[in-house]
Amino acid sequence: MKAIVHVALKSGVLDPQGKAVADTLTRMGYKEVEAARIGRVIELDIDDTLDSDAAEKRVKEMCEKLLANTVIESYRVEFAS
C-alpha cells in the first residue's frame, strides 16, 4: 500500500519561497497570480501486511515525529493500494 503525505505551511505562517514564486510568475507576465504557497508531497510504500487502521496510525506517528513540523505545518494523508 502507498501512503501519500501532503505537508504545507499553516495559514498565517510566512512562506518566503511561495512569495518568490508568485513574484517571479507576475514578472514573467502571469499577472493573474496573486499568491503562491509551497508544500511538499512524501510517498511512502507501506508493508501490505498492516491493516488500514494500523497503517494510518503508524503514518500519523511518522508525520508527528518527523515528516511535518506541526507547530507551523499541517499535513494530510491519503492511502492508495
Residue pLDDT, tens place only, 2-45: 999 999 999 999 999 999 999 999 999 999 999 999 999 999 99
Q: Which CATH superfamily is domain 2-80 in?
A: Phosphoribosylformylglycinamidine synthase subunit PurS (3.30.1280.10)
Compute the distance between CA of residue 40 and CA of residue 31 in angstroms, rounded to an integer: 25
Asked if pLDDT for residue 81 goes beyond 90, the answer is no
Buried b (16+ CB within 10 A) or exposed e, 33-57: eeebeeeeebebebeeeeeeeebee
The pLDDT, as a whole number, for residue 70 is 98
Q: Model-level pTM?
A: 0.89
CB 67 within 8 A of CB 5: yes
Mean local confidence (pLDDT), 47-60: 95
* Domain residue extents for the chain: 2-80
